[in-house]
Amino acid sequence: VPLQQWGAGVLKASETLSLTCAVYGGSFSGYYWTWIRQPPGKGLEWIGEVDHSGTTNYSPSLRSRLTISVDTSKNQFFLKLTSVTAADTADYYCARGFRWAEGNGMDVWGQGTTVTVSS
C-alpha cells in the first residue's frame, strides 16, 4: 500500500502550505491517515491525523493554522497549513497509522516532500 505525496516545495512567508497524499491499493477505512514533519537536522514532529470519516486529531501547537481532510472517493488525504513562516520549513511525510489490539504504529510512509519557506 504505497503512499505517494506531492505539493509545492517553495513558499513565501504568510502563504498556505498544501500537500496531498494518495493511497494506492488496500483499504482506506480502518486507519488513521497522518502527517508528520521533520525540520532540517532535527527530529520528528507529529502534525495530526484524519480517519476515513473525516474525524481529525491535531497537534495543539499547529491547530489554529491546520486543516487535515480526506477524499475517500479518490483515496487521498490533504494537509493545509496557513500563514507559514520559516519555522515551518521541514520535510513533510504522510503515513498510515493503525490502532490494533496488540499495538499502535505507523507502518506505511510516503516518500516525503521538502518544503522551504522563504521570508
Partner 1 sequence: EIVLTQSPGTLSLSPGERATLSCRPSQGIGNTYLAWYRQKPGQAPRLLIYGTSYRATGIPDRVSGSGSGTDFTLTISRLEPEDFAVYYCQQFASSPLTFGPGTRLEI
Q: Residue 55's closest CA among 32, 36, 74?
A: 32
105 makes contact with partner 1 (CB under 8 A): yes
109 makes contact with partner 1 (CB under 8 A): yes
Contacts of 5 (CB under 8 A, 6+ apart): 19, 20, 21, 22, 92, 93, 94, 110, 111, 112, 113
- What the block records as the C-alpha cell of 64 is 489554529
CA distance linking residue 28 with residue 106, whole number of Å: 14
Query: Please, what is the minimum distance in Å from the beta carbon of residue 14 to partner 1?
Result: 25
CB 93 within 8 A of CB 110: yes
Q: Return the range that interacts with partner 1 (CB under 8 A); candidates 8-16, 17-25, 81-89, 97-105.
A: 97-105
Binding mask 24-63 toward partner 1 (x if CB under 8 A, else -) reads ------------x------xxxx--x-------x-xxx--
Q: Which of 102, 115, 116, 118 binds partner 1 (CB under 8 A)?
A: 102
103 makes contact with partner 1 (CB under 8 A): yes
CB 38 within 8 A of CB 46: no
Residue ranges in contact with partner 1 by CB under 8 A = 36, 43-46, 49, 57, 59-61, 93, 95, 98-107, 109-112
